[in-house]
A and B are shown apart, each in its own frame.
Chain A
Amino acid sequence: MPVAGLGPHGERGAPLEQLDLSEADAAVARTREFRVVVVLHTMASDWAKQELKGMAATLDSFGATMAEVVDCAFSVEMQIAALNRLVREGPDAIISIPVGGSAVAEAHRRVSRAGIRLVLLDNGPTGLLPGTDYVSVVSADNFGLGTIGAQLLAPHIANRGKVGILSYQADFFATNEREIAFRKWMASERPDIQLKAVKFPDVGAVAAALNPFLDANADLAGLFAVWDVPAMEAVHVLRARAQSLPMTTIDLGNQAAIALACGDVIKGIGAQRAYDQGVAGAKAAIAALLGRDPPPWVVLPGLPTTSENVTQVYRRIWHEVPPPEMLEQRPD
C-alpha cells in the first residue's frame, strides 16, 4: 500500500529498506557493543510490546544491548526526568516515543546535544529538527491509517448518518494525522456523513467523556477511535449501556483483534506494523552510531484489516500464532 502521509516536517517517507546495513557495517557494530535505552509512553499496550520485541531482536543481532526500558506512563514530567537522567548516564543511543509534543522537545534536544544518538518513534515534537536534534523519526503512515479507518467504517454508516470521533486531546503527531486523514476522506467520499468529535485527555478519561457524548447524540451511527486502547474502553462503555455501534480504530492490539474477529462492534482496523517499526527504530540507531545517515522519516504503510483477513494480518505483524479466541472465530 503506498504511503499517503507526509512527515513531521513535510518529508516524503523513506521505506524500511533504506535502513538496511551491509554485512561489513554489521560486523563493525558487533565489535562496538553499543548500549541503547528505550523510552516509551507506556508498556501497557500491545503496540509497545511489539515495538520492544522488534527492537530487542534487532539490537541483539547487531551485538547491542537494550540497557533499559523506561515507561513514562504518558507523563510529560516523567519523560523529562528520565531523559535528564539518561543525559547524565550517557548511553550510546536512545530510542524514544515523545509523550507530549513540544512540551518534551527541549528534553529530547538535550539528549542530542549530549552526543547521544536519538531516534524517535511515531512523533517528531514540533521544534525538533532532523540532523541537528534527532537522527530519524520512524513511524507508521498515520495519515494512511486514518484513511483506512474511514474507508472501513463508511460501508456501515447509512446515508446522512452521524459518526463520532474519539479524539485524543493531546499534542501528538500520530493521532493528529489519523484524525485529519479520517475527516478528509469522509469529507471527500462521504460528505453526507456528519462528524462530531469527543475529546479525551487520557485513556482513563474515555468513559467520562464518552458517556455524556452518547447521551447527547442518541442518533450516533458509528464511532472511530484514534487507537485501540481507547477503542476497547469505548467497547466496554457501549456494552455497559447495552448499545452497539460499528467502530473502527487503529492498531491491531490483542483485544481489538479478537473483537474484530468476533465481528460485532469493531468492523475494521488500520493495523500498524509495530514489530517492524521496532526493527526500523533499532536499525536507525545502529546506522547513526556507525556514522551512516539514516533518512529523516522512515515510514511503514498500515494494513487494512477486517474480520475476513484478521488472522493473516495478525500473523504478519505480530510474528506469532493468533490467540485461540481469534482462531475459533476466524480459522486460518
Chain B
Amino acid sequence: MASNRQESERYSLVAVMELVRSGRAKTRLEIERQSGLGRAVVTDRLATLAELGLVEEGELGPAIGGRAPRRIRFRADAGRILVATLDHSTIGVGLADLAGQLRVEHYEATDVALAPAGALQRLDTLFDWVQEQYQESREIWGIGLGVPGSLDWDEVWLTESLVARHRAPVWVRSLVQLMTVGEFGVRAVAGMTERDFLYVELGDEITAGFVSDGRLHRGAHGVAGRIGHIAIGSSTEVCRCGNVGCLELMAGGEALVREAQKAAHDGRSRTLIQVLEASGQITVADIGFSARLGDAVCAELLSRCGQQIGHALAAVINTINPATVVLGGEVARTGDILLAAIREAVYRHATPLVTRDLRIIRSQMGRSAGLVGAGLLAVDALFAADRLGAWITAGTPLRHPEVATLLARVAREGGR
C-alpha cells in the first residue's frame, strides 16, 4: 500500500517535472490542466521539486480573470554537463547548464594522428581546467561527447575512462548527429517550429544529421548520415570507404584544395600562387577568400563543388522532405558562391513538391553546435521519463541506482 503511494507520488513528480522542463506548462494552472492532477497534488509536487532545487518561481504571468499567476521555471542551474567534441583536426570542450546553454567553450587544434590515449589525456586536462576556472558549486551531472563516425576507437574504453576520472555518466554520439541536435535545438529556442530538419557538415568529410518529426534519426547502429559516400560520378580514385565516385572524394575539402593546388601550379590563378608563396599551403578558407576577391578560378571551383553537393543533396531531400537544410563546416563557410550553387542544383534536381517551401541556409554556430548538442543530449538522457523516476526524489541523477553501480564497477576495475 505504502509503496503504491510512493510509486504514485514518484509518477506525479516526474509528470510535473517534465511539463515544467519542456516548457509545455508555465504556471500551476497549466500544470493541473495538462497533467490532470488536482491542485493539492500539484502544489505538493512543486514544493518538493523546489526543495530539491529543480524548479523555481519566476516573474508574474499575465492575469486571465483573477490573480496574475506566478511562472514556474525549470532550474537549468541545478547542475552542469561537461561537453566535448573531437574531430580529426580540433578538440572542443565546454560546460553547459541543464538547458544546454554553454557557460564556456574552448577549441584547439589537435594532431590529426593523435592516438586515443593522448586525445583523452588532453580532454581530461581541459575538463579539469574548466571545472577549476568555473567553480560554480554545481555538480557535474553528466558528460556528453561527440566523435566522428569514422573514428575507430574503443568506445567502451573511452566512456569508462571518462567515468572513472570525472565520476559522472557519459554519453558518446556521432559528432554530426550532435551538431544536428545543437542546430535544431537553438532554432527551436528561437521559435522556429519546423520538425523536419537536415544538417549537413561540409568539410573533408561530408556527413549529415536528420531530424524527423522532432526526433533525431540515429540509424540501426547510430551512424546514419554518411552522405559523403553517395556516388555522384565515376572516377578511378578510390575512396577510403573502398568505393569510387564518392561525393566527399569529388567535392569535399581535400578535393577542393587539391584542385586549387593544381590551379596554382599550372599558373591559372595569380591569387592562389600568392597564397602558396606566402604560406606554403592552400586552405579551404583561402579558396573562399580568393573567390570573394574576384578570383575566377576559385569562383569556378566553388561553383562546381556546390553543384556536385547540391545534386547529391537533391536526392536526400527528395527522400526525407525536410523543411530546412542547414549547411555547416569549412566548405560551407567559403561563402555565397558555394551556397548559391548548392541551392541552384537542389532546386533543379529535387522535385518541386519537396522544394516548394524549402529553406537552405548556412549555419551561424560554427563548432558550437556540437557542444550544444552534446549538452542537450546528455540532459535529455538524464531526464528521460524511464530514468527520471529513479533519481528525482534524490534531486540529483548521480544518485540513480544505475549510476551508483556504474561508478562502483569502474572504480573496482581500476579505470585505466
Contact = CB atoms under 8 A, between A and B. Distances in A.
Contact of B134 (A9, A132, A171, A179): A171
B90 A6 contact: yes
Interface string B357-391: 00000001111100000000000000000000000
Contacts of B364: 129-132
B55 to A, nearest CB: 22
B106 A180 contact: yes
Contacts of A10: 90, 92, 105, 107, 366-368
B268 interface: no
A162 interface: no
Report whether over half of chain B's contact residues are helix, strand or loop; otherwise say mixed. mixed
Contact of A127 (B92, B102, B108, B335): B102
A101 B104 contact: yes
Contacts, number: 77
Interface stretch (B21-29, B124-132, B225-233): B124-132
Given A5-B108, A10-B90, A11-B366, A126 B285 contact: no
B279 to A, nearest CB: 8
A177 B366 contact: no
Contact of A183 (B101, B129, B134, B367): B129
B393 interface: no
A176 B107 contact: no
Given A10-B92, A14-B285, A197-B132, A176 B106 contact: yes
Contact of B335 (A5, A126, A179, A293): A293
A8 B105 contact: yes
A176 B279 CA distance: 28
A129 B105 CA distance: 13
Contacts of B367: 9-11
A169 B366 contact: no
Nearest to B101: A127
B109 interface: yes
| Central interface residue in B92, B106, B186, by most chain A CB within 10 Å | B106
A102 interface: yes
B6 interface: no
B289 A18 contact: yes
Contact of A126 (B104, B108, B126): B104
B104 A176 contact: yes
B101 A176 contact: no
Interface in B101-151: 101-109, 125-126, 129, 132-134
Given A101-B104, A180-B108, A7 B366 contact: yes
A143 interface: yes
B129 A129 contact: no
B303 interface: no
A140 to B, nearest CB: 16
| Central interface residue in A4, A6, A11, A132, by most chain B CB within 10 Å | A6
Interface residues of A, number: 34
A102 B95 CA distance: 12
A296 interface: yes
A187 interface: yes
A328 to B, nearest CB: 38
A314 B336 CA distance: 40
Interface in B243-298: 279, 283, 285, 289
A8 B109 CA distance: 13
A6 B101 contact: no
A35 interface: no
A177 B133 CA distance: 12
B105 A9 contact: yes
Contact of A296 (B103, B106, B366): B366
B133 A169 contact: yes
B152 to A, nearest CB: 23
Contact of B366 (A126, A130, A293): A130
Interface in B183-224: 186
A224 to B, nearest CB: 15
A10 B285 CA distance: 14
Interface in A228-287: none
B23 to A, nearest CB: 18
Contact of B106 (A4, A18, A177, A293): A177
A184 B104 CA distance: 18
Interface in B69-110: 90, 92, 94, 101-109
A5 B186 CA distance: 26
Nearest to B285: A12
A183 to B, nearest CB: 7
A126 B103 contact: yes
Interface of A: 2, 4-12, 14, 18, 101-102, 126-127, 129-132, 143, 167, 169, 171, 176-177, 179-180, 183-184, 187, 197, 293, 296
29 contacts: A5-B108, A9-B107, A9-B365, A10-B92, A10-B105, A10-B366, A10-B367, A10-B368, A11-B366, A12-B285, A12-B330, A14-B285, A14-B289, A101-B104, A102-B102, A102-B103, A126-B102, A129-B186, A129-B368, A130-B366, A131-B364, A132-B364, A171-B104, A177-B106, A179-B133, A180-B108, A184-B108, A184-B125, A187-B125
Given A102-B104, A127-B102, 5 more contacts: A102-B102, A126-B103, A131-B364, A180-B108, A183-B129
